[in-house]
Chains A and B, each alone.
Chain A
Amino acid sequence: MNDPLLLAAVALLVPLAAALLLVVAPPLRHRGTPAAWICIAASLASLAAAVRLVALHAQLGGARWTTTWLFAAAKPIASVGLCVDAVSTAMLAVVTLVALCVQVFSVAYMHDESPRGFGRYFALHALFLFSMNLLVIAPNLLQAFAGWELVGLTSYLLIGFWFAKPSAARAAVKAFWMTKLADMGFLFGLLWLFVASGGFEWSAKLDPTVATGVTLLLFVAVVGKSAQFPLHVWLPDAMEGPTPVSALLHAATMVAAGVFLVVRADPLFAQAPLTRETMLWIGSTTAVFAACLALVQRDIKKVLAYSTCSQLGYMVAALGAGSAFAGFFHLGMHAFFKALLFLAAGSVIHAVHSNELSDMGGLRRKMPVTTFAFVIGALSLAGIPGFAGFFSKDLVLASLEGRAGWIPWGLLMGAAFLTAFYMGRTVCLAFFGKLSPKSEHAHEAPLAMSVPLLVLAVPSVIAGFFGAEFAHSLGAHYEVHLGLTPIVASSLAVAGFVAALVVFGRRRDASVASAIERLDRASFVDRGWEALYRRVLLGLSDVLGWIDRYVIDGLMNLTGYATLEAGSAVRGAQTGRMRHYLVAVVVGAILLAMLGWAR
């Protein structure tokens, strides 16, 4: 197995084969457990192929294979295939590793599910892994679009996994609606790109106006998929899905697809300074805004969801500053520690049967492994020096130095403080302090749950140290330097943790804590979209419905009605008596004869 393309094909197609097998063989799916094993085996094969690819890529370099597709007017207009390079191999490794951990975790987490539900869950997971790999390995934007839409579909199906619950069904529809709205940007961007360049290449050369237009349209899709302000509202609601799904799709991989797209299409974005400026501002605004919202959430998953928005904001800001490597590096690190945090939160939710932080507390003594994992994740996310998150966040912040009058830099520094503060708050409320009634009976997670936690904890700590090699393989430059940014960032992170410990720690400062928790939830964005949906979209549907019902159908009905009326008006002529008809024939013949004579 030394052919990079063969390995890439294995990583891509084995999950597809698993998904298809589970689709066409209902007995396997309905029994539940076999489906889980098939899915996990496929992910394992995919992971093995991806790891081997990373090693091979370091020796041999990239490879590319494409085949033509979509014949139109005798000339193929697109191609699909496999693109093996530094970005795709690294992303493949991250995606498959997190996916495998999440799937193993799910075996224990979804244990109470009916066998049919269990099987459906793993079939969807296999489909998701295929879709994500299809996107990651895409040699052009068109294939990426196919993967993009497929991950959107699996996201919808998995958010609505418990579709019998109205809130889950609604959240799934909302996520689908919001991301679909944004995907229109992708579609129009693709069309424009094709018209302008005759292809869908990642690195097409465009003239400046077209480049700006195309990249702005693509960025709209990124805003939707990566939950940036103001389209972020679907992500917190998506937490209605099972927690491992949130870990895989809505934290580590799928939402990062937007960032990945920009990293991939960096040559396009480099031609559009205006788009990059927009990304810089949207990213840094989202980072701060979402961090503020994370501060006031009472649901542990919502804290993490807003935190994901905030961290994606960091990545988008770095990409806006023109540092694709910083964004991509943070994407990878974030995938590890955020998946870890979500899985640890899942373990807690599994133990106390509640998402509410107020139902937790004091879990440190009951669940030491989970606590350890969550704290590692929190420290990494907050960017405490030495942890993975520190290196990538430092790189993001360093890329922003001096940009746009240091304002985005300042915003992200503020967000770094808030990040440490809200993670400190979550850790204090969930794992320290007094035991709550619900956490009395909590127990440590089973092995299938704690092993993935420990596996993910490793890269959450050490992955940052491989930054230089990673940068080298991507052709970017990376070095840790002791300057203004790392010092300010790490002191803010430590300060945030200390402040959280003071406010929410053992001697809980009730007044400050409740003041913070009473802050407006700032759901105005949500309400704005809801109003837009209800008034504008549904209003428009009503108008169109009225036109359809009364104008278009009206014309049809009028035609039918007029024909019927005309028929009843002349039906008297049909007496049914043959002699009357004979008279008519004779009279007609005479009239014709007279007519002929007159001429």
Chain B
Amino acid sequence: MTLVHCLLLAAALFSLGVYGLLTRKQAVALLLSIELMVNAANLVLVAFAKFAGAPTQPIVLFTLAITVAEVAVGLALVMLLYRRYDDTLLDAASEMKG
């Protein structure tokens, strides 16, 4: 297992996240996709620390903390969306149409 393998895995994870972000309608699924993308980024950071000796491991800890906060806010938004529209489909909220 080399750096290249790790980076390819991270790229695949990230692409999966982008695909999910663009194709899913459920708000919860979007959050999951974002989670995939964040973890792809984390994987890159860890891989560089392991194989190239870059001092990037502490950044991963920060990223995890930020992700936890992001998920908390995101889930709260999903709750509000559900309360308001009785639905978690993103297309329900389209009042910002210009």
Contact = CB atoms under 8 A, between A and B. Distances in A.
A574 B97 contact: yes
Contact of A579 (B18, B91, B95, B98): B91
Interface residues of B, number: 13
B96 A574 contact: yes
Nearest to B94: A576
A575 interface: yes
B97 A582 contact: no
Contacts of A572: 98
Contacts of A578: 90-91, 93
B21 A586 contact: yes
Contacts of B25: 579
B37 to A, nearest CB: 10
A75 interface: no
B50 to A, nearest CB: 24
Interface in B1-30: 18, 21-22, 25, 30
B22 A577 contact: no
A583 interface: yes
Contact of A577 (B21, B30, B91): B91
Nearest to A587: B22
Interface in A543-591: 570-579, 582-583, 586
Interface residues of A, number: 13
Given A582-B21, A582-B22, A586-B18, A576 B90 contact: no
A238 to B, nearest CB: 66
A583 B18 CA distance: 9
Contacts of B22: 579, 582-583, 586
A573 B18 CA distance: 22
B96 A579 contact: no
B23 to A, nearest CB: 9
Contacts of A573: 98
B18 A574 contact: no
Nearest to B25: A579
A576 B95 contact: yes
A205 to B, nearest CB: 75
Contact of B98 (A576, A582, A583): A576
Interface of B: 18, 21-22, 25, 30, 90-91, 93-98
Interface of A: 570-579, 582-583, 586
Q: Which 9 pairs, one residue from A and one from B, show the smallest C-beta to C-beta distance?
A: A576-B97, A574-B98, A571-B98, A576-B94, A576-B96, A578-B90, A577-B94, A582-B21, A575-B97
Given A576-B93, A576-B94, 12 more contacts: A571-B98, A573-B98, A574-B97, A574-B98, A575-B97, A576-B95, A576-B96, A578-B91, A579-B22, A579-B90, A582-B22, A586-B22
